[in-house]
């Protein structure tokens, strides 16, 4: 569709007719990007990346779809309808690793290429899984973000989501492992804001009260990083304490402008949608096979290598700061 | 006689708060510095406002589980208004938040009053509906610090006589509702409708209508808190204040409000809120494992309820000795 539109421009009717003809004539490869729920900026941006990949590959049509709320049931319906439409590939960010698996297995039996990205499906339900990053890469990044702005070293503290949050705990563990690589950086406390604004705000206040020499608060969760940023601003400690961690550009723009946050990171959803599409295309055309140790090219992102569970990590989280925040804050 | 019980219970709670502060001070002395206590009070102001509304609802033998969702929805609505019309003065924003919150409370009230659906079912339903509505309005997107206008964010932080306006609003609400509850017909009707609905009906009080007004007041306070909340934390999203309704009910229960209705006071609700507020502000600085934090908060609630149940039991009295013996 996008190619025909670019070639012919013209009136909407003409474009639609030509697109219809073109689809029959060239038999475009149809790749469905199934997301957790529609209307989430992160996934809209991933769809943008998928379209970019489609334009680059040519003859690829992206079907961006998903349920209206983040339920596994909704995704199963979507998958069933995609099977009925006979798409060539499904790239899914799953709401539940197990619940959607049977539907995806049915899809694979009908010759549809299935890959998962962002939020994975169990091994039976997909050919391979693309993680936006890996636990060690994220753990290292969050410490590096703080250390980059602390040339003389000093105290840092982590403000996480809940004490039982699997993702955050794995990242924090990885961060603690790489700490020795950053001499002078001392991790004084790890506290939990439960992803509630008020509790995170109080925990950030508590950190500032307990550790007067604190130089940075690292919050690997979007609610926590925003609440910390607000607490630091309200305490007039901008410039003394750098709030960093993982956040979304649209949410963090204010913190970066106020100076409470020097930089923060998150995977780039555009890159993620782009890579997932590239991989789905490579597998669907047979240019690559999903097997442990295989290296699959991902266009401008380089390539990914599959591990024993057919899982690959895309890249380091992408760092955002005052120089690029304006570009990304409207995207996601 | 009842007056004495109220005063003694509030006296006990004040004592418990002082004891709590003393224990915290042994581990973190800076906590009881006046400036920090002012911070704690300010941080607890939203809980106090909601606890007052909840207390009135509980007095009438109802419960309002939709307060946190109301707060989040009203917060989102005023945030979106602020984004659309950044120049709109803050007093108008406050008026809108109170009016919109009251409107949502009226929905609860009408359902309880006219359709006679149990309040826990009504508010459980509207709680989900309100959260869903936020999702529909916002399409799941967040409204963030840089999108709000400066006056919108500055209002609750503005200091007057050393305290932020948010604290003053809570203080004003405590005074206003203390007067309403003790000096107005409606205020006394809340007690009567919950204390003994049948007697209240015979005395000419429309119990349903009284419950309707209780929900409306609770909604209005939740709406006001909605604005204060989003401007304080400078963010509005679907899950804002998720689960906060339970803290509000807990504050009431700790504050001596009888869950079966008819007993409670504004000052009690405020003290209950402060008790919880002090615990949640102290736990981060006294360095306790996060797993213990939940257990400690929970234990405080259970102990308070146990004490209340004990106090309520004494209240039983026989009005007509002959009638009891007859059957």
Q: What is the CATH number of the domain that holds B73?
A: 1.10.3470
Whole-angstrom Cα distance, residue A94 to residue A100?
Answer: 7
Give the pLDDT confidence score for residue A273 in this predicted structure: 93
A209–B30: do the CB atoms touch at under 8 Å?
yes
Contact partners, residue A164, CB within 8 Å, separation at least 6: none
B287–A198: do the CB atoms touch at under 8 Å?
no
pLDDT tens-digit map of A38-58: 877 778 889 999 999 999 998
Contact A264, A149 (CB under 8 A): no
Chain B's closest residue to A224, CA to CA, is B233
Give the pLDDT confidence score for residue A2 in this predicted structure: 47
- Whole-number average pLDDT of chain A: 86
Residue B294 lies in a domain: yes
End-to-end CA distance of chain A: 25
Residue B30 lies in a domain: no
B43–A198: do the CB atoms touch at under 8 Å?
yes
Nearest to B284 among A69, A206, A227 (CB): A206
Give the pLDDT confidence score for residue B147 in this predicted structure: 87
Nearest to A202 among B46, B157, B281 (CB): B281
Residue B181 lies in a domain: yes
Residue B24 lies in a domain: no
Mean pLDDT of A103-129: 91
Residue ranges of domains in chain A, CATH in brackets: 2-133+269-315 (3.40.50.2300), 135-266 (3.40.50.2300)
Give the closest-approach CA distance of B290 to chain A in angstroms: 7
Give the pLDDT confidence score for residue A166 in this predicted structure: 77
0.80 surpassed by pTM: no
pLDDT tens-digit map of B51-70: 999 999 999 999 999 999 99
pLDDT tens-digit map of B223-245: 999 999 999 998 898 888 888 99
Residue B191 lies in a domain: yes
Q: State how many domains chain B has.
A: 1
Q: Cα B237–B243–B246 angle (5° rounding)?
A: 145
Residue B21 lies in a domain: no
Q: Determine the residue among B135, B138, B144, B166 to mutate to test chain A binding: the one whose Cβ has the most chain A Cβ atoms within 10 Å.
A: B144
A206–B290: do the CB atoms touch at under 8 Å?
no
Q: Determine the residue among A222, A254, A258, A331 to mutate to test chain B binding: the one whose Cβ has the most chain B Cβ atoms within 10 Å.
A: A254
Contact A127, A159 (CB under 8 A): no
pLDDT band at A14 (very low <50, low <70, confident <90, very high): very low
CA-to-CA dists, residue A307 to A131, A285, A295, A301, angstroms: 12, 21, 10, 18
Question: Where in the sequence is the domain holding B53, given as residue range(s)?
Answer: 2-16+35-314
Strand A318-321 relative to strand A263-266: parallel, antiparallel, unpaired? antiparallel
Chain A's closest residue to B293, CA to CA, is A192
Residues of chain B with Cβ-Cβ distance to A205 below 8 Å are 39, 281, 284
Tokens 């997107």 sit on residue: B141
Q: What is the DSSP letter of A306?
A: -
Residue B322 lies in a domain: no
Contact partners, residue B90, CB within 8 Å, separation at least 6: B151, B152, B155
Low-confidence ranges of chain B (pLDDT < 70): 1-8, 308-327
Q: Determine the residue among B75, B140, B279 to mutate to test chain A binding: the one whose Cβ has the most chain A Cβ atoms within 10 Å.
A: B140
């Amino acid at each position: 569709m996008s190619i025909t539109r670019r070639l012919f421009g013209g009136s909407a009717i003409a474009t639609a007719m030509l697109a219809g003809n073109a689809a029959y004539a060239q038999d475009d490869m149809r790749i469905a990007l199934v997301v957790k729920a529609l209307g989430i900026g992160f996934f809209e941006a991933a769809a943008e990346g998928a379209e970019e990949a489609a334009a680059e590959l040519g003859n690829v049509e992206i079907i961006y779809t998903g349920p209206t709320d983040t339920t596994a049931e909704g995704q199963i319906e979507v998958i069933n309808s995609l099977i009925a439409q006979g798409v060539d590939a499904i790239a899914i960010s799953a709401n539940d690793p197990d619940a959607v698996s049977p539907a995806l297995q049915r899809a694979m039996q009908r010759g549809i290429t299935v890959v998962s990205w962002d939020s994975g499906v169990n091994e039976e339900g997909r050919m391979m899984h693309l993680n936006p990053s890996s636990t060690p890469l994220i753990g290292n990044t969050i410490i590096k973000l703080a250390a980059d702005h602390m040339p003389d070293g000093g105290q840092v503290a982590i403000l996480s989501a809940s004490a039982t949050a699997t993702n955050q705990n794995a990242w924090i563990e990885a961060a603690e492992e790489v700490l020795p690589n950053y001499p002078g950086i001392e991790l004084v406390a790890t506290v939990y804001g439960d992803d509630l604004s008020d509790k995170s705000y109080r925990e950030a206040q508590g950190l500032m009260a307990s550790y007067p020499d604190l130089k940075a608060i690292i919050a690997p969760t979007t609610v926590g990083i925003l609440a910390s940023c607000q607490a630091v601003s309200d305490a007039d400690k901008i410039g003394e304490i750098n709030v960093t961690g993982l956040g979304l550009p649209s949410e963090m723009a204010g913190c970066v402008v106020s100076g409470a946050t020097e930089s923060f990171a998150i995977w780039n959803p555009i890159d993620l949608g782009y890579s997932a599409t590239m991989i789905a295309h490579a597998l669907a055309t047979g240019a690559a096979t999903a097997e442990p140790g295989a290296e699959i090219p991902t266009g401008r992102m380089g390539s990914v290598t599959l591990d024993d569970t057919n899982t690959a990590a895309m890249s380091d989280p992408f760092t955002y700061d005052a120089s690029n925040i304006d570009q990304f804050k409207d995207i996601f | 006689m009842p007056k004495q019980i109220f005063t003694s219970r509030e006296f006990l709670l004040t004592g418990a708060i002082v004891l709590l502060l003393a224990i915290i001070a042994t581990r973190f002395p800076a906590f009881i510095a006046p400036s920090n206590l002012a911070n704690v009070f300010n941080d607890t102001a939203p809980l106090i406002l909601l606890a007052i509304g909840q207390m009135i609802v509980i007095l009438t033998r109802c419960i309002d589980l939709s307060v946190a969702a109301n707060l989040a929805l009203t917060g989102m609505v005023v945030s979106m208004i602020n984004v659309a019309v950044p120049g709109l003065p803050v007093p108008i924003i406050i008026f809108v938040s109170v009016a919109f919150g009251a409107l949502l409370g009226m929905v609860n009230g009408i359902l309880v009053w006219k359709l006679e659906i149990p309040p826990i079912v009504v508010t459980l339903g509207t709680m989900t509906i309100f959260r869903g509505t936020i999702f529909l309005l916002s399409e799941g997107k967040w409204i963030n610090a840089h999108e709000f206008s400066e006056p919108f964010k500055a209002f609750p932080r503005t200091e007057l006589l050393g305290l932020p306006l948010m604290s003053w609003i809570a203080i004003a609400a405590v005074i206003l509702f203390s007067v309403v509850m003790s000096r107005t017909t409606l205020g006394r009707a809340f007690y009567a409708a919950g204390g003994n609905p049948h007697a209240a009906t015979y005395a000419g009080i429309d119990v349903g209508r009284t419950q309707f007004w209780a929900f409306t007041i609770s909604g209005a306070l939740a709406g006001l808190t909605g604005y204060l909340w989003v401007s304080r934390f400078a963010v509005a999203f679907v899950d804002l204040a998720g689960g906060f309704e339970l803290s509000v009910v807990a504050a009431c229960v700790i504050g001596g409000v009888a869950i079966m209705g008819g007993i409670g006071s504004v000052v009690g609700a405020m003290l209950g809120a402060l008790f919880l507020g002090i615990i949640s502000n102290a736990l981060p600085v006294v360095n306790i494992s996060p797993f213990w934090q939940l257990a400690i908060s929970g234990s405080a609630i259970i102990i308070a309820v146990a004490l209340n149940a004990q106090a309520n039991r004494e209240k039983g009295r026989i009005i007509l000795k002959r009638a009891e013996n007859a059957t």
